Structure 1
Amino acid sequence: MNIFAEFLPDFLQFDAVDGASLILLFGIILLLGSLGGKFFQKVKIPQVVGYIVIGILIGQSGFQVLSASVISMLNPISSIALAFIGFLIGGELKTSVLKKYGKQFTGILLFEAIVPFFTVSIIVTLISFLITKNIATSLAIGLVLGAISSATAPAATTDVLRENRTRGPLTSTVLGIVALDDAVALILYAVTASVASSLLGYTGGSISTQLLFLAYDVFASIGVGSLIGFLLSLVIKNIMVNEDRILTLSLGAILLSSGTCELLKLDTILAAMAMGFFMVNFATVKTRGIFSLVEKFTPPIYVLFFVLVGAKLNIWNITPYVALIALLYLFFRTAGKSIGARLGSIVTKAPITVKKYLPFCLLSQAGVAIGLS
């Protein structure tokens, strides 16, 4: 039972929202989120942690300013945030960068995704079996958590990079990896979810069926983003001159991409990345300043996104078994990501800065991992 909610006046507990209360709610989230982010930044902790902590305090685990129904209603904000993030990541994927770092990206990506998958899957399965004595359930849990562990949070990662205004080979490598990491996580999840369903006696579809749905998700997402990005690039390249209009058109295209993916149940990040990729490579001169302008729109969107991520968490539902599995997951995912990133950097002969610091850049999780779970 949540005792904190009892201390909050009724008018500050949003069980449903209309026009006026929605404006008030956004004001509360942005104000508290910004203050929380600034406080954590002052004590040398990334501001994204502050946003999530504020979300926990005003969400299901804290004073319940946001009810579960309101959080669910605000889900489109997460989709919009991921679209902006994907668009900006796609803008970093210049063909010149891919030619220079492509093999390095691929090598590191495989190691940093596969190693945590095996470490988490094996340990969680073993410990869960020792507790439950049920091998099928334990293996199903281990495989699914292993697949989820391979994902990295593009939102949190890019926010920290933006906060510190980083540039160089390490930044290029991180952005390249998080751009592709979600696709690997989706593939692993599709396979393991099918295996887990079979182990638990469900008949939701064979592995081939799951892979077919996965292929549709990935390629259709990229197709939607590529089409919008290609058409947008043509318009900007041949018609648009005024930077303000280019910015407005770009923002409209990002929202169009996000909305289309929501309707078709596609991956918002992949679509937005494809759109950003087309814009930066096919309308290079005119879009050079657009990405920096779009980036200026993202701080309030980041605040809303991460506060809502924190608000969804409900620590009162955590049992001792779940807590133990969560701790094992956290420890062995961290170990797996660190070892995998290090091995990948060594094998691909990455620069010393990448070898030294990359493992610390791939530990955050949100977005895709929460969606898969």
Structure 2
Amino acid sequence: MEYHISKLLLIGIAIVVSYYFGEIARKLKLPSLTGYMVVGAIFGESLLNIFNDAVLDSFSFMTEVALGFVAFLIGIELNLDSLKKQGFGIIAIILSESFFAFILVFAGLYLLTGDVSLALIFGAMAPASAPAGTVAVIQEYKAKGSLTKALYAVVGFDDGLAIIIYGIAFAFAKSIIMRETTNASLNILASSIEPLREIGLSLVLGTIFGFIFCQLVRTLKTVEAILIIVFGSVILITGLSVTLHISLILTNMMVGFVLVNTRRQSLVEKVSEQLNLIMPILFIIFFFLAGAHLQLKQLPHLGMIGLVYIFSRSAGLIGGARFGAVIGGVEEKIKKYLGLGILSQAGVAIGLALIVKHELERIGTPHANKIGAAVIMTITATSIFFEILGPILTKIALEKAGEITKEKK
């Protein structure tokens, strides 16, 4: 009799082993998610190849569900009363860290390669962040304070701006590449409208579903019922976002945002309590799968483009966050440490890199194909660096700011 290993068996083993590696990581004063990612890398294509591309594709919905819950959790933390105290400061930070990252990466890679199109595309990748890493660290160490609130706001909203920057910059880059060989031109305005449509639709749908969700949970009497509706609603909204090709992060974040700003605090706390029961297992699954996706074999191909990208993106995010914090007049610990908490980069950037490669392959010129290959190879390699180091730096930032109130043993 021939046996096929059940995917349920695989994910069950992954969860149990990841938990214990997370405990080891914590004893080493590292975030637990570092251990989860190590297990993922061991089980993934880079080493044991148990979780190969086919298996990972079958679990991709789990990553989407986890991101949906992360985004909902971010939204619940965006209380308008708290945000008003930092209002202009948060806006200034989001704008400056995103544009500084874009400008420094563009400048660094243009100076290195002399290729405007390549530099524009890498610059467009730079602002994209990975909110799950930041949120997981905040949740694990029960961080509280003004820096924590600022981190929630920045990682929640900067993905929207990142999509806009990407859409416009990539449209310019494609236009330059097409003009080089065919004298054809791309309608940049039309290409720029698409990311704006995506963001606008995400915010509108998220707001509508937010009010519907509030009406549903308002009538519930038991915590079990709240758990069921929270779980079902986030999955429903995430599925709709994926179907419509809009941002599941912005849509779910707006649902949480509407809840926290329109309903009494006691109801918000009940919903948060149920979320806290769900999140630990979702974080294990998410970061295990993130680790399994890491292509460690790409590290030797990092090269000068990858190194310049790492240093210029890091400098842009940290320097931009500092500049925005100074302009916005926020408190000193946010000025000093917020930039360290927003370096994570993985899924969104890799997704954008795949889109770039696909779009440039359609142009089909040697230059376009060369840029597409460089983008996917470099972003895959640099994401390993940012996804591992980013959460560690987030923990350091929260410790320095005095906002980790309970070190887990």
- Shorter-chain TM-score: which interval? 0.7 to 0.9
Measured in 2, the distance between the counterparts of 1:142 and 1:47 equals 35
Measured in 1, the distance between the counterparts of 2:127 and 2:185 equals 23
For the 8 Å contact 1:150–1:185, the answer to whether it is kept is yes
Query: One-letter code of the match for 2:304?
Result: L
Q: Which residue of 2 aligns with 1:80?
A: 65
**Cα offset for 1:319?**
5.9
Give deviations 1:196-219, integer Å, cap 9, x for gaps: 212222879522222221122111
The match for 1:255 among 230, 235, 241 is 235
Query: One-letter code of the match for 1:96?
Result: D
Query: One-letter code of the match for 2:252?
Result: A
Q: Which residue of 1 aligns with 2:194?
A: 213
Measured in 2, the distance between the counterparts of 1:204 and 1:97 equals 47
Q: Which residue of 2 aligns with 1:145?
A: 122
Query: Compared with structure 1, are the counterparts of its residues 323 and 98 closer, same or farther at alpha carbon in structure 2 (3 Å cutoff)?
Result: same
Measured in 2, the distance between the counterparts of 1:343 and 1:302 equals 32
Deviating beyond 3 angstroms after TM superposition, the runs of 4 or more aligned structure 1 residues are 202-205, 317-320
Counterpart secondary structure, 1:200: helix
For the 8 Å contact 2:86–2:330, the answer to whether it is kept is no
Query: Compared with structure 1, are the counterparts of its residues 50 and 323 closer, same or farther at alpha carbon in structure 2 (3 Å cutoff)?
Result: farther
Query: One-letter code of the match for 2:334?
Result: V
Measured in 2, the distance between the counterparts of 1:325 and 1:35 equals 37
For the 8 Å contact 1:83–1:255, the answer to whether it is kept is yes
Give deviations 1:295-350, integer Å, cap 9, x for gaps: 22011211211222222222334564x43222221111111111111111111121
Q: Which residue of 2 aligns with 1:71?
A: 56
Measured in 1, the distance between the counterparts of 2:102 and 2:240 equals 31
The match for 1:235 among 193, 196, 216 is 216
For the 8 Å contact 2:97–2:321, the answer to whether it is kept is yes
Does 2:258 match 1:272?
no
Give deviations 1:101-134, integer Å, cap 9, x for gaps: 21111011111111111111111222234xxxxx
The match for 1:355 among 313, 332, 335 is 335
Measured in 2, the distance between the counterparts of 1:242 and 1:317 equals 50
Query: Compared with structure 1, are the counterparts of its residues 47 and 128 closer, same or farther at alpha carbon in structure 2 (3 Å cutoff)?
Result: farther
Q: Which residue of 2 aligns with 1:296?
A: 277
Query: One-letter code of the match for 1:343?
Result: F
For the 8 Å contact 2:171–2:192, the answer to whether it is kept is no
The match for 2:46 among 44, 61, 81 is 61
**Cα offset for 1:364?**
1.4
- RMSD of equivalent CA atoms: 2.0
The 5-angstrom pairing of residues 294-373 of structure 1 reads 294-317=275-298, 320=301, 322-373=302-353
**Cα offset for 1:261?**
0.9
Counterpart secondary structure, 1:66: coil
Query: One-letter code of the match for 1:351?
Result: E
Query: Compared with structure 1, are the counterparts of its residues 262 and 31 closer, same or farther at alpha carbon in structure 2 (3 Å cutoff)?
Result: same
Q: Which residue of 2 aligns with 1:192?
A: 169
Scaled by the length of structure 2, the TM-score of the pair is 0.80
For the 8 Å contact 1:234–1:283, the answer to whether it is kept is no
Q: Which residue of 2 aligns with 1:168?
A: 145
Does 2:83 match 1:98?
yes
Alignment identity in percent?
Answer: 31
Q: Which residue of 1 aligns with 2:36?
A: 51
Q: Which residue of 1 aligns with 2:96?
A: 111
Query: Compared with structure 1, are the counterparts of its residues 74 and 119 closer, same or farther at alpha carbon in structure 2 (3 Å cutoff)?
Result: same
Query: Compared with structure 1, are the counterparts of its residues 32 and 326 closer, same or farther at alpha carbon in structure 2 (3 Å cutoff)?
Result: farther
Query: One-letter code of the match for 1:362?
Result: I
Query: One-letter code of the match for 2:12?
Result: G
Q: Which residue of 2 aligns with 1:122?
A: 107
Query: One-letter code of the match for 1:179?
Result: G
Query: One-letter code of the match for 2:123?
Result: G
Does 2:259 match 1:282?
no
Measured in 2, the distance between the counterparts of 1:309 and 1:128 equals 31
For the 8 Å contact 2:100–2:317, the answer to whether it is kept is yes
Measured in 2, the distance between the counterparts of 1:350 and 1:204 equals 44
Tell me how many residue pairs correspond in the alignment: 347
Q: Which residue of 2 aligns with 1:3?
A: none
Measured in 1, the distance between the counterparts of 2:21 and 2:310 equals 24
Measured in 2, the distance between the counterparts of 1:91 and 1:292 equals 12
**Cα offset for 1:255?**
0.6
Unaligned stretches of 5+ in structure 1? 1-9, 12-17, 130-134
Q: Which residue of 2 aligns with 1:6?
A: none
Unaligned stretches of 5+ in structure 2? 354-409
